[in-house]
Structure 1
Amino acid sequence: LVKPIELWTGKQLFSVLLRPHANMRVYVNLTVREKNYSKSGETMCPNDGFVYFRNSELICGQLGKATLGNGNKDGLYSILLRDYNAYAAAACMNKLAKLSARWIGNHGFSIGIDDVQPGGRLNENKRARILEGYGKCDELIQSYNKGMLKLQPGCDAAPTLEAHISSFLNNTRETPAKVCMEELHWRNSPLTMSQCGSKGSPIN
């Protein structure tokens, strides 16, 4: 970061891991969309979910499962193995493993009750969405009992009612999950695991 003041982003670490000195001729160029990519903006993604390496320099993005694992043929290790050799991929993997182990050893990555306890805004949103869901489901059931429910193609009344209720309840469950993702601190451990793709989902 240059403005408003010069700050280190931490991305320089990955550039050093890939190319620690000028004599190492490893030039990685790749783009990967991570799990937290906002589906717009690419390099200007507000969630920093668009990973962009240029000449082994990490320009933007937070490295997660799509970049470092998941058997992705466009991932970092696959690119190193394809364009260079197995030694280059193994060396980078070893350096990153050492760095990760040291960081977790110094800073920790534990989960406490405060990390998973919902806040007041989330509880209010959840309560409102549940009440709205009950009301919508009651309306659908009343329409079904009166024979006024609009049928879906290829379905009679009962499967149509089930499909409508299931769809609405799924949406009701996902909305508090989105609010939860926005409300949690960026250093929250479960949030980090969910965003990088290692474990869990917004609903969990």
Structure 2
Amino acid sequence: MNCMLWVPNWDGVIPQPAIYKPRPRWTGKQLISMVIPKEVSLFNGTDSGENAPLKDEGLLIQAGQLMYGLLTKKNIGAAAGGIVHISYNELGPEGAMAFLNGVQQVVTYWLLNNGHSIGIGDTIPDAATIAKVQVHIDEEKAEVARLTAMATANELEALPGMNVRATFENKVSMALNQARDKAGTTTQKSLKDSNNAVTMASSGSKGSSINISQMTALVGQQIVEGKRIPFGFKYRTLPHFTKDDYSPEAR
């Protein structure tokens, strides 16, 4: 209720709570709806084109009421078809300014009282997820070992437009990138929606799904100018490795 005092031009009437049991509770959607103009109605589906209200995916605003979804950078940023754009078209510059000021005041007060930060606990997956990630890594490392054995035995066929060495590097990079992607998908499924890192990435404020997977699972193969790390020393990336070492760890 303290946040309501920061809603510009609030008439003092408290809306009906969205939750009645076990006790009356108001949601953040109700609070943010108090600053959305009544003239705004908006629907945005998910990336797959489907709407999933139970998972809070997509966005639906009806007559200024946020029914489900998250206010992300796509919906509230400087993009065509967003809330700011619609507010400007329906109410003019003063209406768009009033919406931005209202959102800023409410969000600032909420952050002042609740705060938002990322701790080490947001990046530590459970034991079962760690085991699955290790399986993905071992599978792709075995694939790299198989490619290395084929290249050593002169059994690796060159891809069109590439020699054998370029083909080997291309296939190894693809295998290691798959390890990163699979591990990232596994960890993201295990993280809760209340995870602060997930919240930042889904809202579009900072970070992405790749950043989350790199923090929680593995950094993955690093690519420089479209290639794996080149040999900076004589036949090796660092003096800690043996010469002509093409393993994932050495490159």
User: Shorter-chain TM-score category?
Assistant: 0.7 to 0.9
| TM-score normalised to structure 2 length | 0.67
Q: Say if 1:54 and 1:151 are closer, same or farther in 2 by CA, change over 3 A.
A: farther
**Contact 1:32–1:75 (CA<8 Å) still a contact in 2?**
no
Unaligned stretches of 5+ residues in structure 1: 20-25
The answer to whether the 8 Å contact 1:137/1:165 transfers is: yes
One-letter amino acid of the counterpart of residue 61, structure 1: G
Matched, 1:41 2:53: no
Q: Does the alignment pair 1:67 with 2:67?
A: no
Q: Is the 8 A contact 1:130 1:172 kept in 2?
A: yes
Which structure is larger by alpha-carbon Rg, 1 or 2? 2
Identical columns (%) = 27
Partner of 1:22: none
**SS state at 1:17 partner:** coil
* Equivalent in the alignment of 2:222: none
Q: Secondary structure at the match of 1:85?
A: helix
Query: Residue 182 of structure 2 corresponds to which residue in structure 1?
Result: 175
Give 3-state SS (helix, strand or coil) of 2:209's partner.
Answer: coil
* Structure 1 residues 134 and 91: CA distance shift in structure 2, 3 A: same
**2:135 maps to what in 1?**
128
Tell whether the 8 Å contact from 2:141 to 2:176 is kept in structure 1 after alignment: no
1:52 is the counterpart of 2:64: no
Question: TM-score normalised to the size of structure 1?
Answer: 0.81
Structural RMSD (CA): 2.7
8 A Cα contact 2:29 2:66, kept in partner: yes
Aligned to 1:23: none
1:29 aligned residue (28, 36, 41): 41
Instruction: Tell me which of the two structures has the higher relative contact order, counting C-alpha pairs closer than 8 angstroms and 6 or more residues apart.
Output: 1
Name structure 2 gaps, 5 residues minimum. Answer: 1-17, 212-251
1:163 is matched with which residue? 170
Take 1:83 and 1:40, find their aligned partners in 2: how far apart are those partners? 26
Question: Runs of 4 or more off by more than 6 Å in structure 1?
Answer: 4-7
Shift of 1:63: 1.0
Aligned pair count reads 193
Q: Which residue of 1 aligns with 2:84?
A: 77
CA displacement 1:42-75 (0-9 Å, x = unmatched): 2x25542311223222232111111112x21121
Task: Give, in whole Å, the separation in 2 of the partners of 1:56 and 1:150.
Answer: 61
Looking at structure 1, the residues matched to 79 and 156 of structure 2 have their Cα atoms a distance apart, in angstroms, of 45
Specify which structure has the higher proportion of helix. Answer: 1
Distance 2:153 2:183 in 1: 32
Say whether the 8 Å CA contact 1:38–1:45 is kept in structure 2.
no
In structure 1, the partner of 2:217 is none
The structural deviation recorded for 1:196 is 1.1
8 Å contact from structure 1 (residues 68, 75) kept in 2: yes
Please tell me the residue identity of whatever aligns with 1:65. K
Say whether the 8 Å CA contact 1:38–1:47 is kept in structure 2: no
| Residue 11 (1) aligns with residue 20 (2) | no
Q: Residues 7 and 178 of structure 1: is their aligned pair in 2 closer, same or farther, counting only changes over 3 Å?
A: farther
Measured after TM superposition, the shift of residue 8 of structure 1 is: 5.2
Secondary structure of 1:199's match? Answer: coil
Match for residue 110 of structure 2 among 103, 116, 119: 103
